Structures are given as structure tokens and as C-alpha cells.
Amino acid sequence: MSRLIVVSNRVNPPTARGDETVGGLAMALSAALRQYSGLWFGWSGRTAPEFTGQLSLEQHDGVTVATVDLEEADLQEYYNGYANKTLWPLFHYRQDLTAYDRTFDAGYQRVNRRFAETLAPLIQPGDLIWVHDYHLIPLARELRRLGVTNRIGFFLHIPWPAHQLIVTLPRHRELVAALFDYDLVGFQTEGFRHAFEEYVLSEADGSVDRPGFLRAYGRTMRVEAFPIGIDAADFTRMVESPRAQHTYDVMVAHTVFRRLIVGVDRLDYSKGLEERFLGVERFLANNPDLRREVLMLQVAPLSRDAVEAYQEIRGRLDALSGRINGEYADIDHNPVRYVNKNYRRDELAGLYRAASVGLVTPMRDGMNLVAKEFVAAQDPDDPGVLILSRFAGAADQLRDALLVNPNSPDEIAEAIKRALSMDLFERKARWRAMFENVVREDVTAWRDAFVAALRDPAGAVAPDVERPQPAILEVETETPTRLTTRKTATPRPPARH
């Protein structure tokens, strides 16, 4: 069997199994590499006074991990610069935050060249190379320049933006042309794939060679949607772990006669945290009778601290949560609890399970794995309700969530109210449909589909699946099972005066 070489900006050895790791990409790749004896190549996370190309090699669980240090200017121009100040905001529709800086661009090309020069000697004939994400778009071009003829695939974890946005990027043509040095390019959703195709047809004089294959710049490549999933079996098992159980018990004890609404996101403007808080504030303003009945817990570990936009959002969220609690707190209750700590994954599993509502409202998101983790962690006999942004890639699959426009505090407030009053019958039906999807389209299915397509790029492309419409669950049409469960509204005991 051919070896698999995974290339990503950061490398997380699979033995870490993600307990302390933030980032969907790291979790998905750990799961993939556990199955193949492959090589994982990327940046070590360290800087050196100058770039030497010195490789550090370690073995983890049958996987060779190869990392290289970068120099400070590389870090500023490539990682903090072009990747996180240009491509990330632009691809998440934040043109206002996008830095169109030529130095960044040069640094991005340089680091991709350096990665290629360091990686090329490790590549053996027959190796399949799988490159991940927006940091490394030009990598295949640089490897080809060095004579690498292996199959190379690329998967974009974030959205591919609309045509009008991508053309605002100086040298967008070069960026897209570089993608045509891959044999296979994968997107999270059919919508992103379609946006890419539209660009190629209208901007690059390209054509659809046959379904699933685009031709431009003198090359034909396969382009397909591969929605990423979670390790659903592992997550479901983790919910039963002692630590998850402990976190669950702690949260249940803290929310007696209250219901827990939970959000878990890296602190990032794409995740819609401010808009989410405004939605919660609107819910509290509109529902005085429910103010004491809910606790909104937002876990938001810090990410990419060096980028100023993240420091600003942090300040605004601190102010917003303070304002909401200032307005609606009581001597014994704060409606919003906002923590910047990083939790273990098993603790998150317990938190999700204790929650009546999962609030996942990114402004734009390639997929959003938190939505899937929330579904995987639920008690089948008493599941919570997922409120999901229609602009998350996951909304294509989790159609039985309550889908909202994250820009609208009214829609978020309404959805929270609806979720809290949803009866057990409807909750179970919606959850079951979502859970089946999370289990079926899990990280293994994602990996196998991508690797199979990379192994045989000329092979048949899976036809577009016609997805079932969400179940219309009118409560009146069936007799709902009105069991009293933790996640069903329970009357409080009469207040003592």
C-alpha cells in the first residue's frame, strides 16, 4: 500500500489524541494517520534565527512526524501575515479585516518554497501527498518545480469565497493557477466547490472537462466536495468516560431548575460570538419569565493571539458579557458565563451532554466540528437541540438543526425560545436524523473518500447526493411523548416568601 504523506502547517502527533488540542484540523488528521503508516510534515511551531531546513524526525504510533523550524520573518509574513491576515479573513467574507500587503505575499511564497525543498527529499515513488489548508496552496507548484511527479491532493478546510471576493485579492490568478498543480482539490461543501468552478469558468477561461473535472492553465484536475466529519465512535465513547461524567454532574448540579445553553469555539471573529451574545441578550430582553431559567455558557479558548483583530474581539466580548450580566443578573444567578480556558475534549463531551441547547452560530465556517460533537454527545433518550448557523458548512448535512441567520439577534432569540420549549418527541426525531449523519459521514468516511480519489484521480466522481429534506415535525400531527426529562421545561417549586 502506498504511504500517505500529510502536510499541514502545524503538526500534532497522533499519540496526543487531542485531549489538550484546539483545532478541528488537528483532530481529523490524528484520526487519519492512526490508520496509515505515513509521514506527517509541517512547521514545528518554533522559530530559529535563520532558516536551516534542519528536519526534526520523531516516531509516534507508527507515524513519522517531520517538522522544521521557521525564522521570525517567515512567521510574521507567512503565518501571521498572508495566511491569517489575508486569506483567513477574506475567505470568511471579512474584507474589512483583510490586509492586502505585498510583503506578506512574498513571505507566503517563500515559506511554501522552503517547505517544498525540505520535504522533497523525503518523498518516495508511489507516495500519496495530501496537503491541508490555506497556508499551503502553492506547495504543489513548488514541489512540481523540484521534479516531484507523485499524486498530490489539496483539501481546503475553510470556505472558498464568492467570485466577487476572491478577485479583490491581488494576484488571485496566481493563487488559483497554483491549485492546478494538484491532481485533486477538495472542498467542504458542494457550494464551495461550485464557487470555485464559477471562478475557473469566468476568470480563468476554464471549462468543465467532464463532471467533477476542471480544465484550466493547460491542466485538468479533479475537484470534489468532501465534507469532513468527526471521530463519532470515539466521541460517543468519550461521553461515558469518568471525566466527562464528572463534568456532566458538575454542570447538572449548577443548573438545577435551569437549562444550559452551551457554545464552544476558538475565540475568532468568524465564529459569530458577538452576534451570538447579542442574540442571547435579545432572548433575555424578550422573555422576562425565562431569565432565571437559563444559563448560557460560552467556552472560547484564545487563538492566534498575535493578530490584533483577536485582541480587539476579546475586549468587545468581555464588555458584552459584562453588560448582559449587569442588566440581567440576580444575587444568585448570572445568565452568561464566559470562559477563555481551554478544556479537555472529554470535559467538552460532558458539557455538551449536560446542555439543553447547543448554540453554534458562526458567521462563516468551512464545516464546524463543534456542531457534530454536540450531536454525538447527546443522550438518545433526552437529546438537546442544536441551533446552527446556515452559513456553516455543517448546515448542509445537519438539516434537522434549527437553522438561523447568525446576523439576526431576533432569529437567534426565537430559536433559543423554540429549542427550550421543544417537546421530547420532536427533539428525538431531529437528533436521530442528525446523529445518523454524524455517524455515517464521519472522519473515516471523509479520509477514505479523499484518499481513494487521490489514489485514482481519473476514477468516477460520486454523483451529487440528493439529500432528504428536513423532517417537518408539526407537533399537532402526532401525540408527543410528554415525559418529564431534564431537558424538558420543568416547573420550578413555588418561591418561598
Q: Report the 10 Å Cβ neighbour count for 202.
A: 11
Please state whether beta strands 213-216 and 128-132 pair in parallel, antiparallel, or not at all (unpaired).
unpaired
- 443, 28 in Cβ contact below 8 A? yes
Chain residue whose CB lies nearest ligand GDG:
24
Judged by beta carbon, residue 191 or residue 301, the one nearer ligand GDG is 301
Q: Smaller CB distance to ligand GDG: residue 24 or 161?
A: 24
Q: How far is the CB of 403 from ligand GDG (least distance, A)?
A: 16
Residue carrying the nine cell digits 509574513: 77
CB of 230 to ligand GDG, least distance (A): 7
Which residues here bind ligand GDG, judged by CB under 6 A?
Answer: 21-25, 27-28, 157-158, 228, 264, 266, 299, 301, 342-345, 348, 365-370, 373
* From 157, 181, 183, 400, the catalytic residue: 157
- Cα radius of gyration rounded to whole Å, the chain: 23
Query: Residue 317 CB, nearest distance to ligand GDG (Å)?
Result: 15
User: What's the farthest any 2 CA atoms get from each other in the chain?
Assistant: 82
Least Å distance, CB 424 to ligand GDG, is: 27
Q: Is 157 known to be catalytic?
A: yes
Return d(Cα 299, Cα 297) in angstroms, integer: 6
CA dist list (Å): 272 to 334, 399, 408: 21, 20, 11
Decide whether 23 or 191 has the Cβ nearer to ligand GDG: 23
Cβ 131 to ligand GDG shortest distance, Å? 14
69 a catalytic residue = no
Sheet holding 55-60, edge to edge: 55-60, 63-71, 39-48, 4-10, 128-132, 152-155, 184-187, 219-225, 213-216, 207-210
Least Cβ distance, residue 392 to ligand GDG (angstroms): 7
The full DSSP string for 151-200 is -EEEE--SPPPPHHHHTTSTTHHHHHHHHTTSSEEEESSHHHHHHHHHHH
Nearer to ligand GDG, 28 or 221 (CB): 28
Q: Which of 105, 365, 400, 442 is catalytic?
A: 365
Which residue lies nearer to ligand GDG by CB, 342 or 407?
Answer: 342
Helix axes 24-35 and 443-455, enclosed angle (nearest 10): 60
Fill in the amino acid letter for 105: D
CB nearer to ligand GDG: pick between 86 and 109 = 86
C-alpha cell belonging to residue 40? 506527517
- Catalytic positions, please? 157, 365
